[in-house]
C-alpha cells in the first residue's frame, strides 16, 4: 500500500520536487517554487484528485484519503525544524477540517485548535512519562446486591494541564494511532491489576476494558490479547471487552473472526452505548455478545420519560431472548434504580453505586 501510494504521489510531482516518507503513513514533499505559490495549490489539488481512484492491493480494493499541511520558506520559517513544525500545525488544521483537503500555515490558530494541537503533542509522551492511570467503576447485580464486574476507565493527568477528559484525548489518540500502544498498556495493566485482586480473595471479579475500533483494525489484535493473557496469567473467562457498534460496522468479516477467536478462549464481549447508533438487531444475532450496555442518555430521563421506559424495557426483553445480560449505564438516582429493577435489568453502573475510583480506593471498597 505504501509503495503504491508513493508511486501515485510521485506521478503528481514535477521532477524538481523531493519526496520522503516521514514515518508511518506520513510523507513530506519539498517543492522548489519557480513562479509563485499557486504552483503548490496545483500540486496539492492534483494529489487529492489522484487519490480519489482506488488502489488495488492483492485482492483488495482500497480507498484512501489524505490531509496536507503547507509551510512556505522563508515566511513560515528559515530552517527545516521550524518549517516542518509549521507544516505540522497546518496539517493538524487540515485534519480538523475533515479529510481530503490541504491548509497553509497561519500564525493564529483558534484557542481551541491551539489547545488540541498541544494536547496531541503531549499525548505522544503521556505513556512514556507515566501520566496515564486507570480508574475503576463497578457494576452492581440488582438480584444479589453484589459487585459483578468493574469497568476500567482511562485517565490522563498532565503535570501542567491537569486532568484531561477522556472525551477530549481518546478521539485524539484514535486519530493519531496512539490508541494502539495506549490500549495495549490499558489491557495489560488492567489484567495485572485484576489478577492481584483475584489473589487477594476477590476471585469472581470480572474486568471490562474498552476497546477502540483502531485496535481491532491493527493486524494482530487476537495475538496481542493472547500474549497479554499469557504474560499476566489472567484467566480469559474474567476478561470482558467493551466495543461499540461503530466498530461492528467497519469490517464485518474481520470483526467476526476476532470476536469468535477470542470468545473461544473464554473472553466475553459487551456492546457499549447501546441505543445511540443504528442499534441493528442484526448485530445481536451475528455476534456472541454477553452483555448489552444501555447508554446513559436513556437512563437519565427514565423517571419522567415514558418513551425511554418503553425503549429500555424492550431492550431488556430482547436481551433476555438472546441470553444476554443488560447493564444500565449512568444510574444516578434511587428512583432510576427502582425502575430498572422493576424492568428486570440485571446490572447497574453509575454514580449512585460509585464514582470511578482509584486503585487503592477500589480495593478498600472491595474489602468492605
Ligand atoms: P463509556 O465507555 O461510555 O464510559 C462511561 C462513562 O460514563 C465514563 O466516562 C464514566 O466516568 C461516566 N459515568 C459513570 N457513571 C456515571 C453517572 O452516573 N453519570 C454520568 N453522567 N456519567 C457517568 P469517562 O470516564 O469520562 O470516559 C468517557 C469515555 O471514554 C468512555 O465512555 C469510553 O468510551 C472512553 N474510554 C475510557 N477509557 C477508555 C479506554 O481505556 N480505552 C478506550 N478505547 N476508550 C476509553
Ligand atoms: Ca464503556
Ligand atoms: Ca458506555
Could you tell me if residue 116 is inside a domain? no
Could you tell me if residue 115 is inside a domain? no
Instruction: Name the residue with the closest Cα to ligand 1, atom 45.
Output: 210
- Domain CATH code at residue 209: 3.20.20.450
**pLDDT at res. 95:** 87
pLDDT digits (tens, 9 = 90+) for 277-305: 877 788 888 888 999 999 999 999 998 99
pTM: 0.84
Do 91 and 131 have their domain in common? Answer: no
Instruction: Name the residue with the closest Cα to ligand 1, atom 11.
Output: 356
Could you tell me if residue 70 is inside a domain? yes
**pLDDT at res. 226:** 98
- Tell me the CA–centroid distance for residue 77 and ligand 2, in Å: 44
pLDDT digits (tens, 9 = 90+) for 316-349: 999 999 999 999 999 999 999 999 999 999 999 9
Which helix (DSSP H) or strand (DSSP E) does residue 139 occupy?
strand 132-141
Please check the confidence at residue 23 and state whether its pLDDT lies above 80: yes
Q: Which three cell numbers stand for residue 236?
A: 480469559
Do 218 and 344 have their domain in common? Answer: yes
In short, whether 186's Cβ falls inside 6 Å of ligand 1 is yes
Residues with CB under 5 Å of ion ligand 3 are: 272-273, 329
Q: How confident is the model at residue 35 (pLDDT cuts 50, 70, 90)?
A: confident
Q: Which three cell numbers stand for residue 59?
A: 485482492
Please check the confidence at residue 173 and state whether its pLDDT lies above 90: yes
In short, whether 210's Cβ falls inside 6 Å of ligand 1 is yes
**pLDDT at res. 121:** 87
Do 191 and 247 have their domain in common? Answer: yes
**pLDDT at res. 12:** 95
Do 76 and 140 have their domain in common? Answer: no
Q: Are the C-beta atoms of 208 and 269 separated by less than 8 Å?
A: no
Looking at the CA of 139, name the nearest ligand. 1
**pLDDT at res. 250:** 79
- For 259, the domain range is 123-367
Looking at the CA of 270, name the nearest ligand. 2
- Tell me the CA–centroid distance for residue 273 and ligand 2, in Å: 7
Do 311 and 200 have their domain in common? Answer: yes
| Cα distance between residue 74 and residue 37, in whole Å | 12
- Percentage of residues in the chain having pLDDT higher than 70: 100
Average pLDDT over residues 47-69: 91
3-state DSSP assignment of residue 299: helix
* Beta pairing class for 26-30 and 162-164: unpaired
Do 128 and 67 have their domain in common? Answer: no
Q: How confident is the model at residue 162 (pLDDT cuts 50, 70, 90)?
A: very high
User: Among 133, 139, 170, which is best to mutate for testing ligand 1, by the most ligand atoms less than 8 A from CB?
Assistant: 170
Do 146 and 193 have their domain in common? Answer: yes
Q: How confident is the model at residue 146 (pLDDT cuts 50, 70, 90)?
A: very high
Could you tell me if residue 210 is inside a domain? yes
Which letter does DSSP use for residue 357 in this model?
Answer: B
Could you tell me if residue 43 is inside a domain? yes
Instruction: Name the residue with the closest Cα to ligand 1, atom 34.
Output: 210
Domain boundary among the residues 59, 77, 109 is at: 109
Looking at the CA of 208, name the nearest ligand. 2
Could you tell me if residue 262 is inside a domain? yes
Please check the confidence at residue 108 and state whether its pLDDT lies above 90: no
Do 98 and 128 have their domain in common? Answer: no
- Tell me the CA–centroid distance for residue 331 and ligand 1, in Å: 13
Q: How confident is the model at residue 153 (pLDDT cuts 50, 70, 90)?
A: very high
How many other CB atoms are there within 10 angstroms of residue 108's CB atom? 7
Could you tell me if residue 35 is inside a domain? yes
3-state DSSP assignment of residue 161: coil
pLDDT digits (tens, 9 = 90+) for 189-225: 999 999 999 999 999 999 999 999 889 888 799 999 9
Q: Which three cell numbers stand for residue 97?
A: 477540517
* Beta pairing class for 206-210 and 147-158: parallel
Do 204 and 263 have their domain in common? Answer: yes
Do 87 and 129 have their domain in common? Answer: no
- Percentage of residues in the chain having pLDDT higher than 90: 77
Mean pLDDT of the chain: 93
Using the atom order of ligand 1, give the atom closest to the CA of residue 293.
Answer: 3
Q: Are the C-beta atoms of 137 and 124 separated by less than 8 Å?
A: no
**pLDDT at res. 66:** 93
Domain boundary among the residues 54, 79, 109 is at: 109
- Domain CATH code at residue 23: 3.30.70.270
Domain count, the chain: 2
Do 102 and 131 have their domain in common? Answer: no
Domain boundary among the residues 81, 109, 137 is at: 109
Do 130 and 64 have their domain in common? Answer: no
Amino acid at each position: 500500500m505504501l509503495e503504491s501510494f508513493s508511486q501515485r504521489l510521485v506521478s503528481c510531482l514535477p521532477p524538481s520536487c523531493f519526496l520522503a516518507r516521514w514515518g508511518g503513513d506520513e510523507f513530506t514533499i519539498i517543492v522548489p517554487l519557480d513562479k509563485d505559490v499557486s504552483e503548490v495549490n496545483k500540486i496539492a489539488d492534483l494529489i487529492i484528485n489522484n487519490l480519489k481512484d482506488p488502489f488495488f492491493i492483492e485482492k483488495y480494493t482500497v480507498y484512501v484519503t489524505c490531509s496536507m499541511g503547507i509551510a512556505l520558506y522563508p515566511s513560515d520559517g528559515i530552517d527545516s525544524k521550524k518549517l516542518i513544525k509549521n507544516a505540522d500545525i497546518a496539517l493538524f488544521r487540515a485534519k480538523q477540517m475533515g479529510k481530503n483537503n490541504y491548509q497553509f500555515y497561519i500564525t493564529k490558530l483558534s484557542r481551541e485548535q491551539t489547545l488540541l494541537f498541544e494536547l496531541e503533542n503531549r499525548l505522544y509522551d503521556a505513556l512514556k512519562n507515566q501520566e496515564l492511570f486507570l480508574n475503576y467503576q463497578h457494576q452492581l447485580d440488582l438480584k444479589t446486591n453484589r459487585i459483578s464486574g468493574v469497568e476500567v476507565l482511562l485517565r490522563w493527568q498532565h503535570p501542567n494541564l491537569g486532568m484531561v477528559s477522556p472525551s477530549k484525548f481518546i478521539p485524539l489518540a484514535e486519530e493519531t494511532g496512539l490508541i494502539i500502544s495506549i490500549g495495549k498498556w490499558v489491557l495489560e495493566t488492567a489484567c495485572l491489576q485484576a489478577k492481584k485482586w483475584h489473589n487477594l480473595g476477590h476471585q469472581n471479579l470480572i474486568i471490562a476494558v474498552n476497546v477502540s475500533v483502531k485496535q481491532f483494525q491493527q493486524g494482530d489484535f487476537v495475538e496481542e490479547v493472547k500474549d497479554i493473557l499469557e504474560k499476566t496469567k489472567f484467566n480469559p473467562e474474567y476478561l470482558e471487552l467493551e466495543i461499540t457498534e461503530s466498530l461492528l460496522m467497519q469490517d464485518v468479516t474481520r470483526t467476526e473472526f476476532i470476536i469468535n477467536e477470542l470468545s473461544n478462549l473464554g473472553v466475553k464481549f459487551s456492546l457499549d452505548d447501546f441505543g445511540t447508533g443504528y442499534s441493528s438487531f442484526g448485530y445481536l444475532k451475528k455476534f456472541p455478545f454477553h452483555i448489552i450496555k444501555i447508554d446513559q442518555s436513556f437512563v437519565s430521563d427514565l423517571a419522567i420519560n415514558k418513551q425511554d421506559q418503553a425503549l429500555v424495557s424492550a431492550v431488556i426483553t430482547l436481551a433476555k431472548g438472546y441470553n444476554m445480560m443488560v447493564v444500565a449505564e449512568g444510574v444516578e438516582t434511587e428512583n432510576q434504580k427502582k425502575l430498572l429493577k422493576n424492568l428486570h435489568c440485571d446490572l447497574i453502573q453509575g454514580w449512585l453505586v460509585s464514582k470511578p475510583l482509584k486503585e487503592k480506593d477500589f480495593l478498600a471498597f472491595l474489602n468492605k
